[in-house]
C-alpha cells in the first residue's frame, strides 16, 4: 500500500499515535518483515533514543538487533555503511544532526559515494536517522536543522517528516530504499511529553504497513493567493498562519515538502503557477540552502510565474542563540511567516 496523501489514508484509522511512536512502529514492522534490518546508535537500547525514536525496540528485538554503541560516530556509522554494503539494512542514529562534524567523512565520502564510485555495482541500503531543530534553548551546537548541508552533497536521499503518518510511511520507504536515506526528525514534531508540542504531533496513523513515497511533496492546505513551501515543524506554523489569514481573506496554499532529495519540483511549480506568489519557510540557515534552491527551481522554470518577489523566512545566517529572546527572534516563527505572507500578497 502506498499512501500518497497522509491526510487521507486509504483505510481511515482512528488510532492516534505520536510522531515518535509512529516512527518506531514503522521500524518495528520492517524489523518483523526483514531480519536484515537492525538498529544501532547511542542510547537507542534501554533509553529508547533521547527523542524516543527507538522506544521498546530493545525489549522486542533484543540486543543483537538493537545495539547501543560507544560515543564513536565515525566507527558506528561507518560500520552501518559496511553492513549495508553486505546487504544488511541498518538504521543508524546520529543523536543530533549537529554532531555530524565528528563523522561526516563516513556519511558524505562513503555512505553517499560508494554506489556511484562502484559504477552502480555496490548498493548502500541504509537509513541515517537524526534529530534536528531548535526552539527550546539548547544552544548553537544542539539546535540546527542542517538539512541543506546534507542535501547539498550528492548521493543520499533526505527525508523530513512533519506528521505521525508521514513519519511512519517515510521510515518504511527509507528502509526499503536501496539508497542511503537521511531521515531527519524535528524534536518539536515528536510529541515528546517533556517538550512543548504542536497539537498535530498526535494524529491518526494506519496500523498496517505502508509507504509514503520519497520525493513526493504533500499539499497540506490548498489555496489560491500564495504558496508557502515548507517542511518539518515549520509546516505547522505555516498552517496556523494560513488558518488565521483565511479570516482576513488571504487564501494560502501550504506545501509540505516531506523529501528534500529528491525535491518534488513539479508540485512546487504547479502551485506557484496558480498562485503567482511564493514564500519559503525553512528553519535551516538562510543562505546557500533549501530556500534559495526552491526559488531557483521556480526561476529556472519560468521567472514570469512570480507576480511578486519570492520571500524567504529562515534563520538569518547566525548560529542559533541560547537566550529565548534571541532564539525566537531568528527562528521562522508564525509571526515572521505572517509578515512575509502579507508582504508578498500586498505587492
Partner 1 sequence: MDSQLTLDLYRTMVLIRTFEEAILREYHADKKPVFDIGAGQIPGEMHLAAGQEPVAAGVCAHLTTDDAVTATHRPHHFAIAHGVDLRRMAAEIFGRVDGLGRGRGGHMHLFDPGTHFSCSGIIAEGYPPALGQALAFRRRGTDRIAVAVTGEGAANQGAFHESLNLAALWKLPVVFIVEDNDWGISVPRSVSTCVTSNADRAAGYDMPGERVEDNSVEAVYEAAGRAVERARAGLGPSLIEVHTLRLWGHFEGDAQGYRSDLEGVPGRDPIPTYEAALRRGGVLDDIGVKNAQEAARQRVEDAIAFARQSAEPDPASALDHVFA
Ligand X SMILES: Cc1ncc(C[n+]2csc(CCOP(=O)(O)OP(=O)(O)O)c2C)c(N)n1
Which residue's C-beta sits nearest to ligand X? 99
For partner 1, the binding residues in 309-328 under the rule CB under 8 A are 316-319, 321-326, 328
219 pairs with which residues across the strands?
A: 255
Q: Which is nearer to ligand X, 42 or 166 (CB)?
A: 42
304 binds, among partner 1, ligand X, none (CB under 5 to 8 A by kind): none
73 vs 177, which CB is nearer to ligand X? 73
Beta carbons of 258 and 218 less than 8 angstroms apart: yes
- Taking phi over 0 as left and psi of -120 to 50 as alpha, with beta for the rest, 239 belongs to alpha
From the list 1, 122, 195, 296, which residue makes contact with partner 1 (rule: CB under 8 A)? 195
- Residues 39, 27 contacting (CB under 8 angstroms): yes
Query: Which string of x and - marks every residue 108-137 that binds partner 1 (by CB under 8 A)?
Result: ---------------------------xxx
Which range touches partner 1 (CB under 8 A), out of 46-54, 212-220, 224-232, 287-295?
46-54
- Give SS3 for 8: coil
Out of 34, 47, 287, 347, the residue judged to bind partner 1 by CB under 8 A: 47
Quick one: 62 or 154, whose CB is closer to partner 1? 62
Reduced to 3 states (helix: H, G, I; strand: E, B; else coil), residue 181 is strand
For the chain, how many residues are written? 347
Decide if residue 55 touches partner 1 (CB under 8 A): no
Is 73 or 225 the residue whose CB approaches ligand X more closely? 73
Write the DSSP string, 49-102. Answer: -TTSSSTTHHHHH-TTTEEE--S-HHHHHHHHHHHHHTT-EEEEEEEEGGGGGG
Neighbours of 2 (CB within 10 A): 11
Among 36, 50, 153, 292, binds partner 1 (CB under 8 A): 50
Pairing of strands 252-256, 259-261: unpaired
Q: What does the alpha-carbon distance between residue 189 and residue 302 come to, in Å, rounded to a whole number?
A: 34
Is residue 191 within the footprint of partner 1 (CB under 8 A)? Answer: no
Q: Cβ of residue 97: shortest distance to ligand X, in angstroms?
A: 11
68 interacts with, out of partner 1, ligand X, none, CB within 5 to 8 A per kind: partner 1
Separation in Å, CA 48 to CA 15, 53, 319: 22, 7, 29
Answer yes or no whether residue 199 interacts with partner 1 by CB under 8 A. no
72 binds partner 1 (CB under 8 A): yes
Backbone CA torsion sign across 13, 14, 20, 24: negative
- Is 93 or 327 the residue whose CB approaches ligand X more closely? 93
> By CB under 8 A, is residue 43 in contact with partner 1?
yes
**Closest by alpha carbon to 180, among 125, 130, 129, 131?**
125
Please state whether 56 falls in left (phi above 0), alpha (psi between -120 and 50) or beta.
left
Residues near partner 1 (CB under 8 A), total: 42
Residue 259 binds to partner 1 (criterion: CB under 8 A): no
Q: Which strand (E) or helix (H) includes residue 90? A: strand 89-96
Active-site positions read: 73, 142
Cell of 69: 554503541
Query: Which residues of this protein are in contact with ligand X, per CB under 6 A?
Result: 42, 71, 73, 95, 99, 102
Judged by the rule CB under 8 A, the positions of this chain that interact with partner 1 are 42-43, 45-47, 50, 68-74, 98-99, 101-102, 135-142, 193-196, 316-319, 321-326, 328-330
Amino acid at each position: 500500500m502506498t499512501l500518497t496523501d497522509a491526510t487521507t489514508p486509504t483505510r481511515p484509522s482512528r488510532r492516534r499515535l505520536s510522531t515518535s511512536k509512529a516512527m518506531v512502529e514503522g521500524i518495528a514492522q520492517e524489523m518483523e518483515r526483514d531480519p536484515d534490518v537492525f538498529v544501532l546508535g547511542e542510547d537507542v537500547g534501554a533509553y529508547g533514543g533521547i527523542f524516543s525514536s527507538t522506544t521498546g525496540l530493545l525489549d522486542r528485538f533484543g540486543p543483537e538487533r538493537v545495539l547501543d554503541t560507544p560515543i564513536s560516530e565515525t566507527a558506528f556509522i561507518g560500520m552501518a555503511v559496511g553492513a549495508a554494503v553486505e546487504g544488511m539494512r541498518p538504521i543508524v542514529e546520529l543523536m543530533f544532526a549537529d554532531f555530524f562534524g565528528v563523522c561526516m567523512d563516513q556519511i558524505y565520502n562513503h555512505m553517499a559515494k560508494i554506489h556511484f564510485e562502484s559504477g552502480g555495482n555496490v548498493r548502500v541500503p541504509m537509513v541515517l536517522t537524526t534529530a534536528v531543530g531548535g526552539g527550546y534553548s539548547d544552544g548553537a551546537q544542539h539546535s540546527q536543522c542542517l538539512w541543506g548541508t546534507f542535501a547539498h552533497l550528492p548521493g543520499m536521499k533526505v527525508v523530513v517528516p512533519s506528521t505521525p503518518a508521514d513519519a511512519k510511511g517515510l521510515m518504511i520507504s527509507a528502509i526499503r530504499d536501496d539508497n542511503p536515506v537521511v531521515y531527519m526528525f524535528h524534536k518539536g514534531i515528536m510529541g515528546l511529553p517533556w517538550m512543548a508540542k504542536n497539537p498535530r504531533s498526535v494524529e491518526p496513523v494506519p496500523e498496517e504497513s505502508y509507504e509514503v513515497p520519497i520525493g513526493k511533496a504533500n499539499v497540506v492546505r490548498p489555496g489560491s493567493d500564495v504558496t508557502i513551501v515548507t517542511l518539518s515543524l515549520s509546516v505547522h506554523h505555516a498552517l496556523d498562519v494560513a488558518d488565521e489569514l483565511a479570516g482576513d481573506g488571504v487564501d494560502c496554499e501550504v506545501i509540505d515538502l516531506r523529501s528534500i532529495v529528491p525535491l518534488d519540483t513539479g508540485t512546487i511549480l504547479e502551485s506557484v503557477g496558480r498562485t503567482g506568489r511564493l514564500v519559503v519557510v525553512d528553519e535551516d540557515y538562510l543562505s546557500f540552502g533549501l530556500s534559495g534552491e526552491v526559488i531557483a527551481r521556480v526561476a529556472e522554470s519560468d521567472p514570469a510565474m512570480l507576480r511578486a518577489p519570492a520571500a524567504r523566512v529562515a534563520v538569518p545566517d547566525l548560529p542559533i542563540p541560547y537566550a529565548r529572546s534571541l532564539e525566537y527572534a531568528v527562528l521562522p516563527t508564525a509571526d515572521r511567516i505572517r509578515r512575509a505572507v502579507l508582504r508578498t500578497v500586498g505587492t
